Amino acid sequence: MYEGVIQDLIDELGKLPGIGPKSAQRIAFYIVQSDRIDINHLVEILQTIKEKVRFCKECGNISEDELCRICRDPRRDQSLICVVEESKDVVAIEKTHEFRGKYHVLGGAISPIDGIGPENLRIKELVTRLGNSEIAEVIIATDPNLEGEATATYLARLIKPLGVATSRLASGLPVGGDLEYADEVTLGRAFEGRRKLD
């Protein structure tokens, strides 16, 4: 434990996702040793982000404008919506260059343990989009964990009566992985998602 403002900085950095106590300490000491110009620039960027960055009014992705660049792009397939948990998932999918539709960012996943229910996510907005548009298919791309699966199941049941086709991203064995190290759920999904070889 350190004294005063150093410990306060370590504590605040430790609240960031993926930053443990040791990482928080390393970052804090990096900041202390950095030039004042670099730190002032970092502070300016943090303030600018809070002032300029918002959530797209259509899909919920992060944006500096009312609509994000994907929602503004007329070349995107208007009939496909890929539902993801967070904005970072949009970036991951876009890197594949495989999806040319639009997105819907939920803002998390259903997690009763954490007190997150469907009412805490952007599910009402999704249903509104499905009712007001020509959506042919919703691709559910939530994380392949308990919370993501619960969210996917909830969404599939909710969307089914609307008459919109619903699919789920395939999941299974990673390339370069060994069968003996795969857990039962992953291996089971690999069998479910198997495809014929020509």
pLDDT tens-digit series, residues 132-166: 778 999 999 999 888 999 999 999 999 999 999 99
Nearest by Cα to 155 from 112, 133, 123, 131: 123
CA dist 106 and 122 (Å) reads 5
Own/partner pairs, 105-108, CB within 8 angstroms, 24+ separation = 105/55, 105/56, 105/59, 105/60, 105/61, 106/60, 106/142, 106/151, 107/60
- The pLDDT, as a whole number, for residue 101 is 96
CA dist 27 and 33 (Å) reads 10
Q: Which of 26-30, 100-104, 129-133, 175-179 has the lowest mean pLDDT?
A: 175-179
Q: What average pLDDT does this structure show over 53-76? A: 96
Show the CA angle centred on residue 24, arms to residues 55 and 16, nearest 5°: 20
How long a stretch of residues is the chain?
198
Name the band, by pLDDT with cuts 50, 70 and 90, for residue 5: very high
Q: What average pLDDT does this structure show over 116-135? A: 93
Query: Average model confidence (pLDDT) for the chain?
Result: 91
CA distances to 16, 48, 89, 141 from 85, rounded to whole Å, are: 18, 25, 7, 8
Query: Is the pLDDT at 129 greater than 70, yes or no?
Result: yes
The amino acid that residue 137 corresponds to is E
Tokens for 170? 């395939």
| Residue 184 or residue 56, greater confidence | 56
CA dist 198 and 196 (Å) reads 6
- The pLDDT, as a whole number, for residue 198 is 64
| Residue 130 or residue 178, greater confidence | 130
Name the band, by pLDDT with cuts 50, 70 and 90, for residue 77: very high
Q: 169-191: per-residue pLDDT in tens? A: 887 777 777 767 777 777 777 77
> What is the percent of the chain with per-residue pLDDT over 70, rounded to a whole number?
98
Query: Is the pLDDT at 197 greater than 70, yes or no?
Result: no
| Residue 132 or residue 15, greater confidence | 15
Cα first-last separation, the chain? 62
CA dist 143 and 114 (Å) reads 16
